[in-house]
């Protein structure tokens, strides 16, 4: 009984801070570039309350650590000495401190973390206290990045695409491709179309209720399919938990 009440409260809270925001934004006018942003990322109280490892891990079916380990190992495998690392948008849990530690140890010249929402960057700064003076945190829209063409050696995008409307996904892909240096890596952690029919059915239900922009990650905005259709990228994909999640490492071909 107590367990059922806990699960229902958790689901209700999750609905409110994700889909609830999308519903409300349809009635309460909001800047066009941020109508898709869930309350859980814009309200400081909700950010602090929600940024708990267990909570984040549960949303990713307890695959969070495996996904983060893969991302970190891809970063460690890249020579970053004198180069720029970019994380396009913040994320909950310990992915940011782990990634920053790997890039600092890798000798990166510049470590930049950007986000559309100022409160997310303020929160990120506190989480990155151990790396004071080593990380640049800046407000930036993934669909209009300030970085010059081909200047980023590693560009990490951790579970952002599925939260963007399709038109913004298109622009964010273009920007990610543009800023990555020839020979550099674009690392994308995201949802993936599951192998098992039951998982696809449950996934569809989950996306329809909570995250309506996510379903196109299974087809036209699947990162490998998208990047290979554009040409000039070599992609490697690892999938997790019956194919529900993926980490794609895409290398931009040289000139
Ligand atoms: C990257 S996703 C992370 C989701 C995942 N559930 C997690 O926390 O691990 C959420 C972040 O994307 C940011 N965001 C949303 N739209 C954005 C955009 N157009 N440009 C940059 N950041 C954006 C939000 O402000 C939020 O900080």
Q: What is the pLDDT of residue 252?
A: 98
Q: How far is the CA of 116 from the centre of ligand 1 (A)?
A: 8
pLDDT above 80 (res 7) = no
The domains found in the chain, sorted by start residue, are 61-252 (3.40.50.150)
pLDDT above 90 (res 133) = yes
- Rounded to whole angstroms, the Cα distance separating 209 from 235 reads 31
> To test the ligand 1 pocket, which listed residue (40, 160, 172, 207) has its Cβ within 8 A of the most ligand atoms?
160
- Rounded to whole angstroms, the Cα distance separating 249 from 255 reads 19
Q: Give the confidence band of 6 by pLDDT, cuts at 50, 70, 90.
A: confident
Q: How far is the CA of 211 from the centre of ligand 1 (A)?
A: 13
Atom of ligand 1 nearest to the CA of 168: 19
Q: What is the pLDDT of residue 16?
A: 74
C-alpha pair distances (Å), 83 with each of 77, 78, 93, 94, 180: 14, 10, 26, 23, 11
- Rounded to whole angstroms, the Cα distance separating 203 from 24 reads 24
Residue 154 and residue 78 in contact, taking contact as beta carbons nearer than 8 Å: yes
pLDDT above 80 (res 31) = no
């Amino acid at each position: 009984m107590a367990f059922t009440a806990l699960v229902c409260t958790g689901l209700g809270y999750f609905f409110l801070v994700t889909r609830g925001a999308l519903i409300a934004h349809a009635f309460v006018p909001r800047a066009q570039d941020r109508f898709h942003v869930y309350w859980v990322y814009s309200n400081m109280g909700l950010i602090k309350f929600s940024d708990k490892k267990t909570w984040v891990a549960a949303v990713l079916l307890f695959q969070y650590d495996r996904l983060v380990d893969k991302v970190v190992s891809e970063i460690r495998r890249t020579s970053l000495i004198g180069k720029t690392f970019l994380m396009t948008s913040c994320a909950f849990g310990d992915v940011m401190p782990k990634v920053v530690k790997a890039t600092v140890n890798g000798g990166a010249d510049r470590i930049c973390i950007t986000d559309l929402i100022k409160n997310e960057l303020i929160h990120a700064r506190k989480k990155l206290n151990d790396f004071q003076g080593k990380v640049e945190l800046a407000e930036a829209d993934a669909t209009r990045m300030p970085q010059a063409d081909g200047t980023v050696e590693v560009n990490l995008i951790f579970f952002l695409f599925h939260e963007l409307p399709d038109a913004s996904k298109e622009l964010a892909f273009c920007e990610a491709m543009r800023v990555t240096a020839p020979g550099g890596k674009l690392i994308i952690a995201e949802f993936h179309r599951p192998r098992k029919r039951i998982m696809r059915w449950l996934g569809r239900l989950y996306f329809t209720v909570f995250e309506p922009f996510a379903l196109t990650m299974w087809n036209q905005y699947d990162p490998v399919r998208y990047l290979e259709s554009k040409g000039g990228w070599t992609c490697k994909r690892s999938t997790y938990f019956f194919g529900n999640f993926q980490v794609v490492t895409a290398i931009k071909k040289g000139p």
